[in-house]
Amino acid sequence: MTGRVHAPRFAGEVALVTGAATGIGAATARALAAEGAAVVVNHWRTERPARAVVEAIESEGGRALAVEADVSDADAVARMVATAHEAFGSIGILVNNAGVISRAAVTELEEAEWDRVVDTNLKGVYLVTRAVVPDMIESGRGRIVNISSDLALTGEARLVHYCAAKSGVIGLTKALAHELIPHGINVNAIAPGMTETPMLTANPVTYNPERERSIPAGRWGRPEDIAASVCFLASAEADYYVGWLLSPNGGIAM
């Protein structure tokens, strides 16, 4: 007797993952595609790695499309969503992952850098969500997963702009959840801990053996750890999660 074959969780779905060329976004795009979703791989000035994600998905029998767009630019976002519609149809799963980081003491932080970090990490979530939600409302269903950070919970010196933006993502998530659940759209967030991505490894002050040993779980997070949480929140299994924050962080914040 053969075992039951389970259908992929996201068969027939269209997913948009922002900032999906590397790290958490790339792992999430591949995980959603492996479960049957057609995936729009958003990137900004990272065409080669984004293309590599698409090729990896296609090599495994999935469907994907790389689309370049600055999520802090409303016109670029509108073009991206239009391209997704033309290629795959309406978006039913949105993962707002695009983010940037820099470090500076508050007394040295330039206004332009504050704007760059906040616009990408927070305004981008608003702009992409605003562009995608009308189709979700029309269809009466949808899943939105916003990527925050454990630093929104703990704070860190020299990261006031980043922590402010990622804290804003949590507040935005909860407000959206109230507003959109009557339309069948579940909105939740994830606050990853220190995850082994290019954003982390580029900073030797943080990415070092001593810091890794300080994590109660004894290791860095892996992009796949976060992608698994995204897939859960995007699935029917999480139907009763509304405005919730999951924080896979290895015990850094409990």
Q: List the catalytic residues.
A: 162
Cβ-count burial 122-144 (b if 16+ within 10 Å, e if not) = bbbbbbbbebbbebbeeeeebbb
Question: DSSP letters along the chain, please?
Answer: -PPPPPPPTTTT-EEEESS-SSHHHHHHHHHHHHTT-EEEEEESS-HHHHHHHHHHHHHTT-EEEEEE--TT-HHHHHHHHHHHHHHH-S--EEEE---------TTT--HHHHHHHHIIIIIHHHHHHHHHHHHHHHHT-EEEEEE--THHHH--TT-HHHHHHHHHHHHHHHHHHHHHGGGTEEEEEE---SB-SHHHHT-TTTSSHHHHHTSTTSS-B-HHHHHHHHHHHHSGGGTT--S-EE---TTS--
